[in-house]
Amino acid sequence: MAEHVQECFKTHLVCPDFQPTQPHRSSSTYSCGTRLAWIEFPRYNDDDVKQWIYRCKTYFAIDGTPEEIKTKLIVVNLEGKALRWHTSMVKSFSLDNLIIWTEFKAVLTERFKVIYDDPMVDLLHLQQTGLVAEYQEFFWIRGF
Q: Does residue 138 register a pLDDT over 80?
A: yes
Q: What is the pLDDT of residue 127?
A: 83
**What element of type H or E holds 1?**
none
Structural domain spans, the chain: 2-115
Question: Helix 67-75 and helix 49-63: axis angle, to 10°?
Answer: 130
Q: What is the pLDDT of residue 31?
A: 46
Alpha-carbon distance 8 to 3, whole Å? 9
Band of pLDDT at residue 3, cut at 50, 70 and 90: low
For residues 12 and 74, which has the higher predicted lDDT (pLDDT)? 74
Mean pLDDT in residue range 95-117: 82
Alpha-carbon distance 41 to 102, whole Å? 18
Alpha-carbon distance 131 to 127, whole Å? 12
Q: Please state the separation of Cα 96 from the chain's center in Å.
A: 23
